[in-house]
């Protein structure tokens, strides 16, 4: 039997500790390397923070499994048991260039079902979290359910990259008409931040062509707890261990974007 209160308590404690380590790293020289391409950055701090979580989780909850972006977790073959999906720094480019606009993201699954979600804004020391079925919070403040908004009043998060022709979208069916119809677009460079912004109503929707499980696991649990809808760009459910396109939006708006802008 999993004691979820204990898991939650430890997750919050470790997030705060990890945040302090990241803030302390601002005083040190970063080691910056690249991964898939020259713009795909990783630093020694991304790696150290993931190692910190994996060490603590393994000591305290040895039966739990871990999926982390930087590869210090486990090779998962199924979703059995408790799985921590961790992005130690979401928005590494912002971390390197701006020392802000990056988050730590954690989603904890119980046999494949989202149970606990955490998005931690390290620089502002603000934690967004939810336990499925028990409400979502921004620090002590319980967040209200998300309400419908018409497309013309919506502010949506979307990288400019996805407006230009890109390999993930049919060039005859781009996001340009959506960008023209909504009230405004924003591009923040951290999926976790954008999920937190949808959860708090600072954004009405967020779109990405390609996210990994660690980018969306924590945010999905929080937004869904608030009645928001999270699918891929075809309106299909996400497979929690696979990369996917993402449409996260308030109820109603999600269906409108899907029907009027994404389906051909
Ligand atoms: C990235 C950020 C970014 C998104 C990328 C992600 P990372 O995560 O969330 O906003 O557009 O797809 O890879 O690499 O900074 O953890
Ligand atoms: Ca990365
Ligand atoms: Ca990420
Ligand atoms: Ca990352």
Distances (CA, A) of 183 to 111, 156, 174, 219, 252: 40, 8, 18, 24, 16
Q: Phi first, then psi: what are they for 171, rounded to 5°?
A: -60, -15
Please state which architecture CATH assigns to domain 4-142: 2-Layer Sandwich (3.30)
Whether the per-residue pLDDT at 163 is higher than 90: the answer is no
Average pLDDT over residues 213-239: 98
Report d(CA 131, CA 127) in Å as an integer. 13
CA atoms within 13 A on the CB side of 17: 13
Do the annotations mark residue 232 as ligand-binding?
no
* pLDDT (0 to 100) of residue 164: 83
Nearest-CA neighbor of 130 among 217, 209, 67, 46? 217
Residue with tokens 């730590």: 104
Atom 2 of ligand 1 has which residue's CA nearest to it? 190
CATH topology match: 4-142 vs 151-262: no
Give the ipTM: 0.98
Each residue's pLDDT tens digit, 108-148: 999 999 999 999 999 999 999 999 999 999 999 999 999 99
- Which protein residue's CA is at the shortest distance from atom 15 of ligand 1? 91
User: How many C-beta atoms surround the C-beta of residue 235 within 10 A?
Assistant: 15
Is 110 annotated to bind a ligand? Reply is no
Pocket probe mutation, ligand 1, options 215, 243, 246, 248, max atoms within 8 Å of Cβ: 215
Among 85, 190, 245, the mutation site with the greatest number of ligand 1 atoms within 8 A of its Cβ is 190
Instruction: Select the CATH number that applies to the domain covering 151-262 from these four: 3.40.50.10420, 3.40.630.30, 3.40.190.80, 3.40.50.720.
Output: 3.40.190.80
User: Which ligand number lies closest to the CA of residue 189?
Assistant: 1
Q: How confident is the model at residue 59 (pLDDT cuts 50, 70, 90)?
A: very high
Is 89 annotated in a binding site? The answer is yes
Q: Which ligand has its closest atom nearest to the C-alpha of 246?
A: 1
What's the CA-to-centroid distance between 183 and ligand 3, angstroms? 27
Q: Which residues line ligand 1 (CB under 6 A)?
A: 69, 87, 90-92, 159, 189-191, 208, 210-211, 215
Any residues with CB less than 8 A from the CB of 218 and at least 6 apart, and which? 85, 87, 105, 106, 107, 117, 118, 119, 192, 195
- For the residues of 101-164, what is the DSSP string, one character each? S-EEEEEEEETTEEEEEEEEETTTTEEEEEETTS-EEETTEEPPPP----GGG-EEEE-GGGTS
User: Which of 189, 191, 192 to probe ligand 1 with, by most ligand atoms within 8 A of CB?
Assistant: 191
Confirm if 103 and 196 have CB atoms less than 8 A apart: yes
pLDDT at 170 over 80: yes
DSSP E strand boundaries for the chain: 32-34, 41-43, 65-68, 82-90, 103-110, 113-121, 126-131, 136-138, 141-142, 155-158, 184-186, 205-211, 229-231, 244-249
Tell me if 69 is assigned to a ligand binding site.
Answer: yes
For 24, 100, 108, 111, the CA distances from 4, given in Å and listed in that order, are 30, 31, 10, 14
Please give the structure tokens belonging to residue 221. 């649990």
Among the bound ligands, name the one nearest to the CA of residue 215: 3
Least confident piece of the model among 8-17, 33-42, 98-107, 163-172: 163-172
**Per-residue model confidence as pLDDT tens digits over 5-22:** 999 999 999 999 999 999
Q: What contacts 213, CB < 8 A, 6 or more positions away?
A: 67, 85, 107, 240, 241, 242, 243
- Asked if residue 228 has pLDDT above 70, the reply is yes
Query: Token pair 């959860």 is at which residue?
Result: 199
Domain ranges of the chain: 4-142, 151-262
Residues across the chain: 264
87 is in an annotated binding site: yes
Bridge partners (DSSP) listed for residue 230? 248
């Amino acid at each position: 039997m999993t004691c979820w209160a204990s898991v939650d308590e430890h997750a919050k404690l470790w997030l705060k500790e990890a945040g302090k380590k990241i803030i302390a790293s601002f005083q040190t020289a970063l080691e910056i390397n690249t991964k898939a391409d020259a713009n795909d950055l990783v630093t020694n701090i991304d790696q150290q923070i993931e190692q910190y979580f994996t060490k603590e989780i393994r000591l305290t909850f040895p039966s739990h499994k871990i999926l982390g972006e930087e590869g210090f977790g486990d090779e998962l073959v199924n979703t059995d048991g408790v799985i921590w999906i961790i992005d130690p720094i979401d928005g590494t480019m912002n971390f390197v260039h701006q020392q802000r606009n990056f988050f730590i993201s954690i989603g904890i699954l119980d046999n494949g079902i989202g149970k606990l979600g955490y998005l931690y804004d390290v620089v502002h020391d603000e934690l967004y979290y939810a336990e499925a079925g028990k409400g979502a919070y921004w620090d002590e403040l319980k967040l209200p359910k998300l309400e419908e908004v018409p497309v013309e009043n919506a502010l949506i998060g979307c990288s400019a990259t996805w407006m230009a022709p890109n390999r993930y979208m049919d060039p005859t069916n781009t996001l340009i008409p959506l960008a023209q119809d909504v009230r405004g677009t924003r591009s923040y460079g951290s999926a976790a931040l954008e999920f937190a912004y949808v959860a708090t109503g600072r954004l009405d929707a967020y779109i990405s062509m390609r996210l990994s499980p660690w980018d969306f696991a924590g945010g999905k649990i929080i937004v869904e707890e608030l009645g928001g809808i999270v699918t891929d760009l075809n309106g299909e459910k996400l497979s929690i261990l696979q990369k996917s396109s993402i449409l996260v939006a308030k109820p109603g708006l999600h269906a409108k974007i899907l029907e009027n802008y994404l389906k051909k």
